[in-house]
Structure 1
Amino acid sequence: MGNSPQPEGRSARLSRRRFVAGTGSILGAAAVGTYATPARAAAHIANGAQVAALVIGTGYGGSVTALRLAEAGVAVHMIEMGQDWATVAPGPDGRIHPKVTSPDYRSFWMRTKTKAPLSNFLGFPLDKAVPKHAGILDAEEFPGITVYQGRGVGGGSLVNGGMAVTPKRQNFASVLPSVNADEMYGTYYPRANAGLGVGLVNPDWFERTSYYQYSRVGRKHAKRSGFAWTFVPDVYDWDYMVAEDNGTVPKSALGQEILYGNNYGKKTLGKTYLQKAKATGRVTISPLHEVTGVAPVAGGTGFTVTIRQLDTAGATVATKTVTAAKVFFAGGSVGTSKLLVKLKATGALPKLNGEVGKGWGENGNVMCGRANHMWDATGDVQSTIPCSGIDNWDAGGAFAEVAPLPTGIETYASFYLSITKNPHRAEFTYDAGAGKVGLSWQTAWKQDSITMAKSIFDKINRTEGTIYRIDLFGNNSKVWGDHLTYHPLGGAVLNKATDNYGRLHGYPGLYVTDGALIPGNTTVNPFVTITALAERNIEHIVRNDL
């Protein structure tokens, strides 16, 4: 799963093993059978183990934390609920990860039916039955919203579009008001961008490749309506993508791979922070393990952590109890918030303050499609990696990613994911009767996001004489994808549920180090900010707490 073209012999072997072409159909197929996916043995954490630092989650915050702790000489064990996809056997198509047009058992986390962000196409439903399996994309459903999250070693880096955006300096105070902007923009954002391997598409290649015709059409329409259009940085290996276009390496971003994982060119955390962390020799990872309890050691120091080990069908195969001197919650905004709310409500961590669970937002995500004229074809082949956006944040409260619609056919459609200045915030609460954590989000709150996105697309439609697509999100009358988020943020907000560096109030040695710290919105795609904040916080913690 390297970033660069392989030597001829290795490429041939990998071609036989992993790159049998799958045709796929945007309309799906019948239910697939159950497939065994044996993995190479991992050094799973042992029952009764004692560890210096336990990191719950392997996403952006967790990966930064593990690397910097290890560099400081601390032994770290990471707990990951999903699989280690680098060790998973290829599927029936010869690939680790399937195309977006061919979802199967590898695609979704513990579902018996797929739940694609686009539920329909040309009047046909897309979702289909699949075996329950530890797939790579979790579509976690709450009343009012579905939250898409990555499952596996590398977390969200496995399934996002890789748009690596640093917020505008003038917007930062609204994102993290208690954080020194000079430090973030002078030190931690540059450190995060370097660590993630952020880069820009080659503008000359962008102008000539057929795979970004959809983005060039988006640029034309944006500029004709007077909107600012910009290239957006990303964590894809752009040299590899050019080689894909030239036909010298297997296609990945140019082969309909993104939502269910990317086999080659994407710089996931497994190729950046986690690779460096493991290279220290002080970091180990237990995949298919889920933390269910954290409590202070009775009569001693540190924390007792309860963990269940899963198989790929979701069954519990072992329950373990370990002791950790320090615990870092990095299970993503939803995972961290749910766990902390449960631990407070059930009395395991009763001294957590009343801010735990509050301040959750969805980064103002809303999607839409536009039906273009026949002379504005967007291309039957499209790169799955977005590289441009429309900026109307200051005037209308929206930034719109010019997104791909990689169906394999010409759609004459432009598709967008907008990030908006949605002011609504939800709260996680524990239902003792059901034994579950719920979320108070309301779909009606998305109307603010729709209004802000319309500040862009109503004007473009008027200028171009075009209309919205109504066949993508349900019943052939629904214009807006207002049912989801890719960017969950908040639930353990910095300087409220924690101190200004992520220390949880009431329990020295417990920390939050992920997107749960950010109060609901970053004005852009959030993972660079999550990474930079984690760099800031762990530097302070290493210096002052170890």
Structure 2
Amino acid sequence: MTNSHISRRQFVGLAAMQLAATAGLTAISATAATAEATTTAGPTFVPAVVVGTGYGSSVTALRLGEAGISTLMLEMGQLWNQPGPDGKVFCRMINPDRRSTWFRTRTEAPLGTFLWLDVVNRDIESYAGVLDRVHFAEMSVYVGRGVGGGSLVNGGMAVTPLRSYFEQVLPTVDADEMYNRYYPLANSMLGVSTIPRDYFENSDYYQFARVSRAQAANAGLGTAFVPNVYDFGYMAMEESGQAPKSALNAEVIYGNNYGKRSLDRTYLPAALSTGNVTIQTLHRVRTIAQQPDGTYLLTVEQIDTAGNLLATKEIGCRHLFLGAGSLGTTELLLRARDTGALPALSDEIGNGWGPNGNIMTARANHLWNPTGMLQSSIPTMAIDDWNNPTTPVFAEIAPIPSGIETWVSLYLAITKSPERGTFVYDRATDTMGLRWTREQNQVSVAAAKSLLDRINHANGTIYRYDLFGDTRAFADDFCYHPLGGCVLGKATDGYGRVTGARNLYVTDGSLIPGSIGVNPFVTITALAERNIAQVIRQDIAA
């Protein structure tokens, strides 16, 4: 399916989203008959349920819908397409309000301070906001909340991993098939493109990236342009004053109002337009169990945007696809196994977790080398030292779109780390914990430091120590790219079928064992395309 085909079809799905939001509905569908839910004396029953609306879930729902399978998607967040008091759906990074954060009374941005001053975060009203930071003992994880999942809050960096590293990480997956068929399909469906070179070289909004590129070159390091799902034609119109600003208006981690091809603009409208898919928002799956006839029974909590519990529902299905992300999917499976609801699930569930080697760090530039008051929020370049035989790093040049000159060069370093964590379920508290220590991140810190030390030495610069709430130069206590927990070929078979439970599938980043070397969402999308094609052929269409 080509991107132009999606554009012609997605109108129906986009219209369904708008109608649901305007009417204040939590159910989004293109037709009244969508999902063919049936209610008997027991729970509502649908042929297929997809938990979550992120990358893997969106792929799965679209392909099921195209195959004529009535499918219900359950999303714990809300549909983001109704404007707030300022006329915008999403708020800016530099002036966050309740739309920013998932049920907190204060925002929790990755940069916590500036010059050690608490000027970044804001007190807010508790609300079903778009960004969540899930805390464990020694690691926290950023995740998106809403229809479109992480695509709503990420920087849109759509990177296909180095083939040789992909083959190390997922050796049982046919790399020829992935790189010749499924990666191109994913990139087409997601609307991936690369910033035009002339625009990058001449825009004031990318001075910050050009400064980092020159400093990397002084250290003998190369850079690479990084593809993105942002519409760079729209960005040029933003800069020329022909369109409302989004990337050029400090919008990204709390959502982009315009310009970004998030999943609610690509896969999800296409899924809805099949007429076989319904999305239920503000519905959180709490438990899953299997019935004597082999079907699944889900206990689902419906909430409102204030967090009030409105109803507890039971939903049954024949085929269950878990796409709630590394954290959500793993928690559901651990709870099911350890409470005895699905006792035959593998002991491998919970294993193989990693933060994709994420380390954030920053350098202080000389006063005569400013990074620019104007900065696009969309990253488009990385320092590529992944072929380094001892400390491979892919360091993305990140913006600080604060509206003032900071002289800061910020990086999200993706490193190659062998360290893995394990999720565990505490039955007494009904919570999931993560066995991971800060010490495990030291190999990643050392790799990032090796790269940035060379740049500092070549340019006579130093690190910034004032950005992460204390005196650290390297933020190693949070990540954007949680991976693993239900590893492909270990907790599942080679196509995401969960071991020990028929017609139960995993379709998200929990399949990838802890690291993929670049931003993972294109890989998650491509892997989901591969897996659902096989599942439909063998398990559903057969």
Answer yes or no: same fold by TM over 0.5: yes
Aligned 8 A contact 2:160 2:518 in 1? yes
110, 123, 127: which one aligns with 1:129: 123
- The amino acid that maps onto 1:282 is N
76, 98, 108: which one aligns with 1:115: 108
- Residue 69 of structure 1 is matched in structure 2 by 64
Is 2:246 the counterpart of 1:252?
A: yes
- The amino acid that maps onto 1:451 is A
Aligned 8 A contact 2:355 2:480 in 1? yes
The whole-number CA distance in structure 1 between the counterparts of 2:509 and 2:113 is: 30
- Equivalences for residues 324-363 of structure 1 within 5 A: 324-363=317-356
- The amino acid that maps onto 1:360 is W
- Equivalences for residues 108-507 of structure 1 within 5 A: 108-125=101-118, 126-297=120-291, 299-395=292-388, 396-475=391-470, 477-507=471-501
Question: Structure 1 residues 333, 58: CA separation in 2 closer, same or farther (over 3 Å shift)?
Answer: same
Aligned 8 A contact 1:292 1:308 in 2? yes
- Residue 50 of structure 1 is matched in structure 2 by 45
- Residue 74 of structure 2 is matched in structure 1 by 79
> How big is the shift at 1:39?
6.6
More deviation, 55-64/430-439: 430-439
Aligned 8 A contact 2:27 2:281 in 1? no
> How big is the shift at 1:128?
2.8
- Residue 538 of structure 2 is matched in structure 1 by 544
The whole-number CA distance in structure 2 between the counterparts of 1:49 and 1:340 is: 22
More deviation, 533-542/431-440: 431-440
Provide the aligned length of Structure 1 versus Structure 2: 507
Question: Structure 1 residues 331, 39: CA separation in 2 closer, same or farther (over 3 Å shift)?
Answer: farther
Aligned 8 A contact 1:366 1:480 in 2? yes
Query: CA offsets per residue over residues 227-279 of structure 1, 9 Å max, x none?
Result: 11010000001100010011100000000000000001000001111111111
SS of the residue 2:27 aligns to: coil
> How big is the shift at 1:422?
1.4
The whole-number CA distance in structure 1 between the counterparts of 2:26 and 2:530 is: 31
SS of the residue 1:106 aligns to: helix
- Residue 33 of structure 2 is matched in structure 1 by none
Query: CA offsets per residue over residues 110-134 of structure 1, 9 Å max, x none?
Result: 1122111111012211323222110
- The amino acid that maps onto 1:72 is A
The whole-number CA distance in structure 1 between the counterparts of 2:413 and 2:73 is: 33
Is 2:92 the counterpart of 1:92?
A: no
- Residue 95 of structure 2 is matched in structure 1 by 102
> How big is the shift at 1:38?
8.7
Give runs of ≥4 in structure 1 deviating > 6 Å: 44-47
> How big is the shift at 1:46?
8.4
Question: Structure 1 residues 221, 343: CA separation in 2 closer, same or farther (over 3 Å shift)?
Answer: same
The whole-number CA distance in structure 1 between the counterparts of 2:186 and 2:409 is: 31
The whole-number CA distance in structure 1 between the counterparts of 2:168 and 2:150 is: 24
Aligned 8 A contact 2:247 2:378 in 1? yes
- The amino acid that maps onto 1:270 is D
Query: CA offsets per residue over residues 203-249 of structure 1, 9 Å max, x none?
Result: 00111110000011111011111111010000001100010011100
The whole-number CA distance in structure 1 between the counterparts of 2:370 and 2:123 is: 33
- Residue 41 of structure 1 is matched in structure 2 by 25
SS of the residue 1:120 aligns to: coil
The whole-number CA distance in structure 2 between the counterparts of 1:133 and 1:91 is: 13
Query: CA offsets per residue over residues 85-107 of structure 1, 9 Å max, x none?
Result: 12x3x223221100000111111
504, 512, 523: which one aligns with 1:518: 512
SS of the residue 1:394 aligns to: coil
Query: CA offsets per residue over residues 301-354 of structure 1, 9 Å max, x none?
Result: 311111110111222110000110100000011110111111111111111010
Query: CA offsets per residue over residues 482-506 of structure 1, 9 Å max, x none?
Result: 1100000000000000000000011
The whole-number CA distance in structure 1 between the counterparts of 2:143 and 2:503 is: 27
The whole-number CA distance in structure 1 between the counterparts of 2:50 and 2:491 is: 19
SS of the residue 1:121 aligns to: coil
The whole-number CA distance in structure 2 between the counterparts of 1:66 and 1:38 is: 24
The whole-number CA distance in structure 2 between the counterparts of 1:404 and 1:240 is: 19
The whole-number CA distance in structure 1 between the counterparts of 2:114 and 2:384 is: 28
The whole-number CA distance in structure 2 between the counterparts of 1:43 and 1:180 is: 38
Unaligned runs of 5+ in 1: 4-36
- The amino acid that maps onto 1:413 is V
SS of the residue 1:375 aligns to: coil
Aligned 8 A contact 1:46 1:320 in 2? no
Unaligned runs of 5+ in 2: 4-20, 29-36
Aligned 8 A contact 2:294 2:502 in 1? no
- The amino acid that maps onto 2:183 is Y
> How big is the shift at 1:42?
3.3
- Residue 8 of structure 1 is matched in structure 2 by none
The whole-number CA distance in structure 1 between the counterparts of 2:305 and 2:365 is: 43
TM-score when normalising by structure 2: 0.92
- The amino acid that maps onto 1:437 is M
SS of the residue 2:103 aligns to: coil
Aligned 8 A contact 2:99 2:127 in 1? yes
- Residue 33 of structure 1 is matched in structure 2 by none
Query: CA offsets per residue over residues 5-24 of structure 1, 9 Å max, x none?
Result: xxxxxxxxxxxxxxxxxxxx
Aligned 8 A contact 1:175 1:523 in 2? no
TM-score when normalising by structure 1: 0.91
The whole-number CA distance in structure 2 between the counterparts of 1:62 and 1:507 is: 19
More deviation, 454-463/41-50: 41-50
Aligned 8 A contact 2:77 2:146 in 1? yes
- The amino acid that maps onto 1:367 is M
SS of the residue 2:474 aligns to: coil
The whole-number CA distance in structure 2 between the counterparts of 1:129 and 1:73 is: 47
- The amino acid that maps onto 1:538 is I
Query: CA offsets per residue over residues 11-51 of structure 1, 9 Å max, x none?
Result: xxxxxxxxxxxxxxxxxxxxxxxxxx997223378873211
